[in-house]
Amino acid sequence: MYPLRLLDRSHFEKLVGIPEAIEGVEQAYRLFSRGEAGVFPVIVHQFEPGRREMDLKAGHLAGAGVFGMKMLGWCAENPARNLPPLAGLIIVMDVDRQQPLGILDGTPVTFLRTGAAGAIGARTFARKDSRTALIVGAGNQGRAQLLGLSFAMPQLETILVADILESQSARFVEEQQALYPRFKLQAVPFSGLSRATEESDLIITCTRSREFFLKKEWVSPGTHINAIGADMPGKQELEPALVASAKVFADSATQVVAKGECQHAAKLGLVPAERITEIGTVLEGMKPGRLSAEEITLFDATGMAIQDLMVAAMALNRAEKKGIGTVVHF
């Protein structure tokens, strides 16, 4: 018998916020570059493409003494049924004893660690004088990205928000403006994306698109792009020529070529793997990041199990100290 701690959304939200998530995800990226963490091949299964999909990410973090996995399911019809579209679980296990330590609701961890990934990408690669950011995709991930930016890029002034459903971006701005009084939030029409793009120093794409909507000609020199949405075969947000013209960074080079934004440019032979630099190597000072104010930089993030595991392990650690969560004996 061993104790197994369960953390639901409300438990998790009491334990880890965006600053801690950023710290954890940065640590995961660094350990990965140092060879002290690894990810296993991601398993993706599309029961009905664009309607019912699952993915399973697993990995290990020698540095933190944990390993485990996250399994998420996504169903497009769920909101109409009054159910969350995305649901799943994270299991954290202990390397030494090879036993489960805890189980967490996978969605709040995913929300926070993806917001953290965007924040780290922006902080590492965007120009320090960035003033205007554009978020394309006014859904939950748009919220996570804004939360990340608010912590990592306080110098921003204007946040433009676009969504293919204009009611979504309007609602997003109305709801989120109150949370971030420091920023000026503004909904922009999806049809006017070219102008919004030109004005932006930082662009974050976080949609479920399967066709690119961001064209190379719209993006000004010096822009940094966080490509967050494409994380499965078939998903796409950027014109391949834009990817090819940018200096490309990734969470995992293997993953982004297989199923991130880079999958398309790679298939066309436009982005050879040796042109993709992993963010951990930049954070560790092993490789350079942005070299000039004119470069277009791109951070392609597909999400790695070690991000989830690091954030989940932090939460479990704190939960144990504070006596938070439901403990069952297995």
Enumerate the active-site residues: 70
Among 3, 8, 194, 267, binds a second copy (CB under 8 A): 8
Q: Which stretch binds a second copy (CB under 8 A): 40-48, 175-183, 215-223, 314-322?
A: 40-48
69 binds a second copy (CB under 8 A): yes
CB 77, min distance to a second copy, A: 9
Residue 145: count of CB within 10 angstroms of its CB: 28
Q: Total residues at the site for a second copy (CB under 8 A)?
A: 44
CA distances from 48 to 74, 75, 211, 244, 263 (A): 10, 9, 18, 31, 21
Q: What is the dihedral of CA 231, 156, 128, 27, to 10 degrees?
A: -50
Q: Which of 14, 30, 22, 240 is nearest to 118 (CA)?
A: 22
60 binds a second copy (CB under 8 A): yes
CA pair distance 115, 123, nearest whole angstrom = 12
74 binds a second copy (CB under 8 A): yes
- Exposed, middle or buried: residue 284 (CB in 10 Å: 0-12, 13-18, 19+)? middle
215 binds a second copy (CB under 8 A): no
Q: Which of 212, 159, 215, 203 is nearest to 297 (CA)?
A: 203
Residues 82-121 that bind a second copy (CB under 8 A): 83-84, 87-89, 91, 93-100, 103, 105
Among 17, 43, 157, 199, binds a second copy (CB under 8 A): 43
CB 295, min distance to a second copy, A: 38
Q: Which stretch binds a second copy (CB under 8 A): 43-51, 117-125, 145-153, 183-191?
A: 43-51
Q: Which of 159, 258, 164 is nearest to 213 (CA)?
A: 164
CB 89, min distance to a second copy, A: 5
183 binds a second copy (CB under 8 A): no
CB 96, min distance to a second copy, A: 8
- Calculate ∠ Cα 97-66-12, nearest 5°: 115
Q: Which of 227, 223, 187 is nearest to 207 (CA)?
A: 227
CA pair distance 246, 229, nearest whole angstrom = 17
Among 81, 285, 291, 323, binds a second copy (CB under 8 A): 81
52 binds a second copy (CB under 8 A): yes
Residue position matching structure tokens 């090879």: 98
Per CB under 8 A, residues contacting a second copy are 2, 6, 8-9, 40-41, 43, 45, 47, 52-54, 56, 58, 60, 67-69, 71, 73-75, 78, 81, 83-84, 87-89, 91, 93-100, 103, 105, 326, 328-330
